[in-house]
């Protein structure tokens, strides 16, 4: 399997990887979330539309259940992440074991690591996640658990962490990753959403080998697994932008649930600007393009300036993406933004709630009004927790820069022509935004 990209793995390779993850997780809770969930809320948005930050805000609510991160890696493991593009047909088979694999990732964040069972579960999840991030790496049995225990012990003796404390993920992973890098030369901490100050001496350019998870990679945190009772009584939040092309299939995946769509919108200029930054950032590599497929990528503004830009497509692949492999980068980004929202509008169904990310970033009164409306739609008490989180500070997650009001203005000259294209203007009108850029936030 070493040296292949995800598209070149054989059926046997995928089966082996699924078995590795299942073996690592054996003994941990394995609720079949596909059968147990009764209320599923899919966040539908474009990439760089604010969904990562907003999903992290939602994770602060104890009235909801969540996945640790995007479910794409699990869908990819089980052959349900699309073929030529990211769409999945409504009648695509539901593979055995997928519900349990997703259930192992389902629950709520925990503030502490209370006792050895919690530490064991935490180390187990790190080891399982490494299969999705570095499938070529085969740590010795017990090696990752020993590393986690030693790292927590170091933090206790050298930084004063009390028993059960987990107060700084960046401090923990900065130390843990040094242990990994000492033993496995191919390990690159630069692939993670980690404070670079923790990587002194380990910095180097990251270009993906054959990951199943899209970088920046997830840093697993302490977690409480969901029970069947919790999945029956709390809305389950799913956040993965490419799911806008799978909404009908997701309704089949959760046959016992009411599946609703939270359509998170953001004006075209802000999202396209975020996509533009992301394509030029050292991360978000989603699909390796081999020459025999479509020829090398030749995207001006990306392929000619960014290492790996002739081989790696970033973010989602909407239907028809192959026609854009030589278009200017800003037009590729506009295509991705418009395609995502058009898909959400087309298949979101009647049970759809529209939330503007501009309201999430807005002043206190706008935030409170938006959270009040969201609470009424969800039907569970979330307003106070979410409003407190928003007014304290927005979490910085999978971001190239801190979100700020009208950051896209710095690229207005570049963005103006693409935002004037009919596909963008028509989509903005369907989403209820003003027709002219001057009215966008």
Alpha helices, H only, 95-135 = 98-103, 115-133
pLDDT at residue 148 in the model: 98
Give buried/exposed letters for 172-196 (b at 16+ CB in 10 A, else e). bbbbbbbbbbeeeeebbbbbbbbee
Give every CB contact of residue 408 below 8 A, 6+ residues apart in sequence: 269, 270, 272, 273, 415
Alpha helices in 184-288 (DSSP H): 228-233, 247-253, 268-279
* pTM listed for this prediction: 0.93
**How far is the C-alpha of 148 from the C-alpha of 182, rounded, in Å?**
15
Q: Tens place of pLDDT for every residue, the chain, 441 residues?
A: 443 444 568 999 999 999 999 999 998 888 999 999 999 999 999 999 999 999 999 998 999 999 999 999 999 999 999 889 999 999 999 999 999 999 999 999 999 999 999 999 999 999 999 999 999 999 999 999 999 999 999 999 999 999 999 999 999 999 999 999 999 999 999 899 888 888 887 877 788 888 999 999 999 999 999 999 999 999 999 999 999 999 999 999 999 999 999 999 999 999 999 999 999 998 899 998 875 555 689 999 999 999 999 999 999 999 999 999 999 999 999 999 999 999 999 987 889 999 999 999 889 999 999 999 999 999 999 999 999 888 887 665 555 555 555 678 788 899 999 999 999 999 999 999 998 888 888
Q: What is the pLDDT of residue 3?
A: 39
Cα 73 to the center of its chain, rounded Å:
9
| Backbone angles phi and psi of 258, in degrees to 5 | -80, 115
Q: What is the pLDDT of residue 1?
A: 45
Cβ neighbours for 404, distance < 8 A, ≥ 6 positions apart: none
Note whether 305 and 328 are within 8 A (CB).
no
């Amino acid at each position: 399997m070493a040296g292949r990209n995800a598209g070149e793995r054989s059926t046997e390779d995928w089966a082996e990887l699924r078995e590795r993850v299942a073996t690592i997780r054996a003994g941990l809770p394995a609720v079949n979330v596909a059968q147990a969930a009764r209320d599923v809320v899919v966040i539908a948005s474009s990439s760089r539309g604010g969904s990562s930050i907003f999903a992290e805000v939602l994770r602060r609510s104890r009235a909801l259940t969540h996945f640790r991160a995007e479910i794409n890696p699990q869908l990819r493991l089980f052959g349900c992440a699309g073929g030529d593009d990211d769409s999945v047909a409504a009648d695509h088979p539901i593979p055995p074991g997928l519900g349990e694999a997703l259930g192992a990732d389902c629950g709520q964040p925990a503030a502490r690591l209370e006792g050895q069972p919690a530490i064991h579960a935490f180390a187990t999840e790190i080891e399982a996640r490494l299969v999705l991030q570095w499938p070529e790496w085969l740590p010795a049995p017990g090696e990752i658990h020993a590393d986690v225990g030693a790292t927590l012990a170091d933090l206790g003796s050298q930084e004063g962490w009390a028993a059960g404390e987990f107060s700084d993920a960046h401090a923990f992973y900065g130390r843990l990753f040094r242990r990994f890098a000492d033993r496995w030369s191919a390990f690159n901490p630069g692939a993670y959403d980690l404070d670079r100050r923790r990587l002194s001496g380990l910095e180097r350019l990251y270009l993906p080998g054959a990951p199943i998870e899209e970088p920046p990679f997830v840093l697993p945190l302490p977690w409480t697994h969901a029970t069947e009772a919790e999945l029956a009584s709390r809305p389950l939040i799913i956040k993965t932008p490419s799911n806008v092309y799978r909404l009908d299939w997701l309704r089949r995946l959760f046959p016992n649930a009411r599946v609703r769509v939270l359509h998170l919108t953001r004006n075209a200029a802000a999202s396209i600007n975020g996509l533009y930054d992301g394509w030029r950032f050292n991360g978000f590599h989603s699909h390796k393009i081999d020459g025999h497929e479509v020829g090398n990528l030749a995207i001006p503004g990306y392929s000619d300036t960014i290492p790996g830009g002739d081989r790696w497509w970033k973010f989602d692949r909407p239907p028809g993406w192959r026609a854009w492999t030589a278009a200017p980068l800003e037009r590729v980004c506009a295509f991705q933004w418009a395609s995502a929202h058009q898909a959400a509008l087309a298949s979101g169904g009647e049970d759809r709630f529209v939330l503007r990310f501009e309201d999430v970033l807005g002043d206190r009164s706008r935030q409170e009004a938006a959270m009040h409306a969201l609470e009424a739609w969800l039907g569970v008490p979330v307003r106070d927790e979410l409003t407190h989180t928003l007014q304290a500070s927005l979490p910085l997650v999978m971001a190239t820069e801190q979100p700020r009001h009208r950051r896209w203005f710095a690229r207005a000259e570049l963005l103006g022509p693409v935002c004037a294209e009919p596909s963008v203007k028509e989509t903005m009108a369907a989403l209820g935004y003003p027709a002219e850029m001057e009215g966008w936030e």
